[in-house]
Amino acid sequence: MRFAGTLPGGLAAHAKLDHATGELHAIAYYWAWDHVQHVIVGADGTVSRTTDIPVADGPMMHDFALTGSYVVLFDLPVTFSLDAVSAGLKLPYAWNPAHQPRVGLLPRGNPSAAVRWFEVDPCWVFHTLNAYDDDGGRVVVDLVRYEGAYDVSTLTGHGPLTLDRWVIDPAAWKVTQQRLDDRPQEFPRTDERVTGQPHRYGYSAVIGAVGHATVSPGGDFADEAFSNALLKHDLAAGTVQVHEFGRDATAGEAVFVPASPGAAEDDGYVMAYVHNPDRGAADLVLLAAQDFAAEPIARVHLPARIPSAFTAAGSPTSRSYPYARLYQHKHGPYLWRKGTRAMSTTTPKGRRLTITEDRTATQTDVVTKLSGQSVAGTVAKLTGVITAKGMKLFAVIDQAAEARQAGLTLRETTLVIFGSPQAGTPVMAASPLAALDLPLKVLIWADEGQTKVSYHAPAALAASHHLTADLAANLAGINALTDALAAS
């Protein structure tokens, strides 16, 4: 995503939405820069402001925090390393004991003002929970902290992995650290409606072994790093609830979704992908946030394993759907709509809950039209048009025939691959990865007595590869080509 061409560089992993202003905040870093960059994307989807913050040594900033007054920056001793480059490491960053660890406050209302930096003890931070301004003018940041020297290039030397609170006092020029929970945990999340505001509740995944075999240098956690439990923190009461999913399960990042836009901070659902060892695949599990330790109120069986470190977001919706088929669950009936992954149930509190898989993006990425001819007739007409227009026909693959040779059965399915080097070459020159989608492909297939013609939407391909309008036009001819088939 380039935000309509207004993004000057890249973005780091964890952008944050300020629900009060509608602005999206992010940090960008790059090994060759002498600064990191704070980026604000306005509600119109374009970059409204960038601020360069001078830093030494090219530090890695995987996450940051946001309050109503400040952008909170973590300039920690994991910096660019030529030795890591020479060693061929995928992520050329290493622990740098000569780099002073510090946390910085960038005033949101006056970005031209200098960042105020506060020294902290050596540590590493992959992820923050949330931050806010307290009534005394201090900044409170809750985060997961790796104590001591933590070398992301080798994932060695780290101390305890804990949920901590840092209180930054600009008047006293000091940072006070407080331990909130000493259980190893990661991927802390809160109700995103309170981003940058005081929060009471937080959710995190219990972490097992952390090491080279379970965490990549870029912060991607393998399933083996996760345990079988999620945590709910009540930071006002100082209590923690645990939800365990079974001995061999692994629970990934938890996402809180409010029951309604105006619901209380923990009035809603906690969603997580949980590996189900009995099926060898993932379940999307929903917990009632206010009854966290109880049995899940819903469990959606997914067809494949999803990595536990898969990061997601959720939001409430008011959409309703008609339903056609009835399934049973121990908490009540689930109604599934034909053609849509959707289900509905009544929660123990009497609230109607609907779960749907929104396939809008997938549907608009693929265009499907109907042909009035058979599959063979449609293939013949398409290949004839391609040849008549002077384009190159690279291949016609009868996938049903290939299946029969393997002793298998497949509906009539033929893939036609074609294109024009004059049109495709400039596209691939501008975006080399476009070669994965070129030459163009049209799938002609039989479905319930109809012949369908499907292909990737040119607009979706253009957006995926960040093509300019003139290059996008090189792909658009497939629309007219297939219109002729649909009219036949």
How much is the pLDDT for 336?
32
Task: Give the mean model confidence (pLDDT) for residues 226-235.
Answer: 89
| pLDDT, greater one: 43 or 152 | 43
Do residues 41 and 24 make contact, with C-beta atoms less than 8 angstroms apart? Answer: yes
Question: How would you label 371-403 residue by residue, b for 16+ Cβ within 10 Å and e otherwise?
Answer: beeebeebbebbbebbeeeebeeeebebebeee
Percent of the chain whose predicted confidence (pLDDT) is above 70: 82
How much is the pLDDT for 335?
32
| pLDDT, greater one: 258 or 280 | 258
How much is the pLDDT for 332?
33
Q: In whole angstroms, what is the distance from residue 402 CA to residue 389 CA?
A: 29
Look at the chain and count its residues.
488
Residue with tokens 């979704």: 257
Query: For residue 295, what is the DSSP state?
Result: P
Percent of the chain whose predicted confidence (pLDDT) is above 90: 57
Ordered structural domains, the chain, with CATH: 16-318 (2.120.10), 319-358 (no CATH), 362-487 (3.30.310.70)
CA 334 to chain centre: 28
Q: In whole angstroms, what is the distance from residue 194 CA to residue 200 CA?
A: 9
How much is the pLDDT for 467?
84
Q: Is residue 271 scored above 90 in pLDDT?
A: yes
How much is the pLDDT for 227?
78
* Helix residue ranges per DSSP H, 227-374: 360-365
pLDDT per residue over 145-188, tens digit each? 998 887 776 656 566 789 999 999 999 999 999 999 999 898 99
Give the dihedral sign, CA 143/148/153/155. negative
pLDDT per residue over 303-343, tens digit each? 877 766 666 555 444 333 222 222 233 333 333 333 344 45
pLDDT band of residue 190 (cuts 50, 70, 90) is very high
Q: What is the chain's Cα-based Rg? A: 26
Task: Give the mean model confidence (pLDDT) for residues 380-406.
Answer: 95
For residue 438, which of 391, 405, 406 has the smallest C-alpha distance? 391
Do residues 144 and 125 make contact, with C-beta atoms less than 8 angstroms apart? Answer: yes
Quote the pTM value. 0.66
Give, in order, the Cα–Cα distances in Å from 314 to each of 128, 194, 272. 18, 14, 10
Q: Is residue 361 scored above 50 in pLDDT?
A: no
Give the dihedral sign, CA 460/465/467/471. negative
Give, in order, the Cα–Cα distances in Å from 94 to each of 11, 101, 113, 143, 216. 20, 14, 30, 21, 13
Low-confidence winner among 5-14, 131-140, 398-407 (lowest mean pLDDT): 5-14
Alpha carbons within 13 angstroms on the beta-carbon side of residue 183 total 20
| pLDDT, greater one: 487 or 447 | 447
Do residues 38 and 24 make contact, with C-beta atoms less than 8 angstroms apart? Answer: no
Query: For residue 377, what is the DSSP state?
Result: H
Q: In whole angstroms, what is the distance from residue 70 CA to residue 107 CA?
A: 5
Task: Give the mean model confidence (pLDDT) for residues 78-88.
Answer: 88
Task: Give the mean model confidence (pLDDT) for residues 419-428.
Answer: 94
Do residues 78 and 150 make contact, with C-beta atoms less than 8 angstroms apart? Answer: yes
For residue 255, which of 210, 310, 306 has the smallest C-alpha distance? 310
How much is the pLDDT for 359?
41
Give 319's contacts (C-beta < 8 A, 6+ positions apart).
356
Q: Count CB neighbours of 314 within 10 A.
A: 16
Q: In whole angstroms, what is the distance from residue 278 CA to residue 248 CA?
A: 9
- The mean pLDDT value of the chain amounts to 84
Q: Is residue 294 scored above 70 in pLDDT?
A: yes
Q: Is residue 213 scored above 50 in pLDDT?
A: no
Q: Is residue 288 scored above 60 in pLDDT?
A: yes
Do residues 93 and 158 make contact, with C-beta atoms less than 8 angstroms apart? Answer: no
Low-confidence winner among 32-41, 169-178, 234-243, 365-374 (lowest mean pLDDT): 365-374
